[in-house]
Each structure stands twice: as C-alpha cells, then as structure tokens.
A and B are shown apart, each in its own frame.
Chain A
Amino acid sequence: MEIATTRFGRIEIKEEKMIRMTQGILGFPDERRYVLLPHREGSSFFWLQSVDRPELAFVVISPFLFAPDYSFDIPDAVERELEIERREQVDVLVLVTIPAGNPRAMTANLLGPLVINVERRLGRQLVLDPNRYPLQHPLIPDAAPSPGEPAAAGEGHKAAGAG
C-alpha cells in the first residue's frame, strides 16, 4: 500500500511490514500503525513513521549499540499482549530526541523503550523504573549541552573538536 509522509513523500510499504501498537506511544494514543524505515542504507538509525499521520515520525535506534548492558524484564501481561512466546521474537528500540540546532546533544529514552514482536508485528512502549533507567541518555557522552545550558562542571572529556 502507498502511504503519505511529510519527510519521505509518498512511499510504498508492504502491509505485512507494518507494526501495530497495542497501545499508542505515550502522547499519541490514536496512532497505532507504524512502519520502520532505515535512516540511510546501512544506518543504525531508523524512522518509526506513522502510517496514518504523515508528519509523525520518530528517530529510533537499538539501545544495545550504545548501552550494551541495557536490560529489563518484560511483564507477563505485556508478553501476552504482544503474543511473545520466544526471546528471539523480541526487538527493542528506543526513541531518540534530537534538539533542534544541536544534534550532538541527542539523547535516547531508556526509560520508555519500545518492545516489538518482530514476527507478529506487534509493539508498545513500556514504562520502566525511573530510578534505574534514564529518560535522556546522551548518545554522545561528551557532546556539548544544548545552547543556553552551562556545561556541567568537572567533566573531564576533551573538547568536542572532532565532530
């Protein structure tokens, strides 16, 4: 089927590639159908594009690329909801927030990961324990903070000259 998107124009998607959210991403309760598009060929970044709302798309990435120790338990009720029977069916993605004008300060939301059953094409956002998982995990640890925010004192990293 063909869908309209603000960023990518009209694109052709396979219906079986669509991911259905059993519960909307928080803040977007009515948008339930998405497709995953690579940012570029071979890119670690993907776009989670809404099928029904052309302007709605999230940048997502696998958390294990930058937080190899990231792990959490999926509640039984969520496993049932997503029809998860085997570990291999599960994929985890996290939403990336990219501040306008300062992409180096981009952060990943490890507190509210997306859990997807890649075989059944079912997904949802989980809410984890805020004492254990950060809402804004910097993807580039020594990135300059967003304009207007003073740099944290005592950060021992080299100046970010190479970026």
Chain B
Amino acid sequence: MLILTRKAGEKITIGDDIEISVVEIKGRQVRIGVKAPPELAVHREEVFRRIQEENLRAAAVGPELGDLEALLAGRRNRK
C-alpha cells in the first residue's frame, strides 16, 4: 500500500479524475473530500462491509424455508 503524509488542505490525485483532499483534521477525526467520476461508487468502508456480510448471511438460506407466506400473513393479522 502506498502511504503518503498530507496536511490539512493538501490533496492526492489518483489517475486523471480522482482527487482526495484532507479537508480538516480535528483530534482523532479527519474530514476527507473525494472528487470522483459519478459512476465510481464511494462509500464508507464499514457500510460497504456490513452490506456485504448481510448479503453473505442472506445467501446462506437453507432449502428448508418453512412457510414464509404464513409467517407474513400472521404478521398482518396481528396488526
């Protein structure tokens, strides 16, 4: 991994169209600006990872599903 030292207000460019700027450093928090083409998805890593993990859990459904429909119907009846 390339590791660079930057001060607040300084930037890093990646390729021609991606620009990362250190907007503000305050204690243990760093505000980072990302300028990237719209087709590139930019996410906080932990959000991305949580969805990925949930997808893996969702894919682990066994063949024995029970009667999902009845479960949902039960929910509606109790409303």
A binding-site residues for B, Cβ under 8 Å: 6-7, 23, 25-28, 39-40, 43-45, 56-59, 65-66, 75-77, 80-81, 95-98, 100, 103-104, 106, 109, 111-112, 125, 127, 130, 135-136, 139-142, 158, 162-163
Contact = CB atoms under 8 A, between A and B. Distances in A.
A56 B66 CA distance: 19
Main SS class of interface, A: loop
Nearest to A45: B68
Contacts, number: 108
A162 B77 contact: yes
Contacts of B43: 127
B54 A109 contact: yes
25 contacts: A7-B63, A25-B55, A39-B65, A40-B69, A43-B68, A57-B59, A59-B58, A66-B72, A77-B39, A96-B58, A98-B58, A98-B68, A100-B60, A103-B65, A103-B71, A106-B71, A111-B54, A112-B55, A127-B48, A130-B47, A139-B72, A140-B71, A141-B75, A158-B78, A163-B71
B37 to A, nearest CB: 8
A103 B55 contact: no
Interface of B: 37-39, 41, 43-44, 47-48, 50-63, 65-66, 68-69, 71-72, 74-75, 77-78
A111 B62 contact: no
A39 B63 CA distance: 11
A77 B38 CA distance: 6
Contacts of A6: 63
Contact of A26 (B39, B52, B66, B77): B52
A26 B53 CA distance: 8
A162 B74 contact: yes
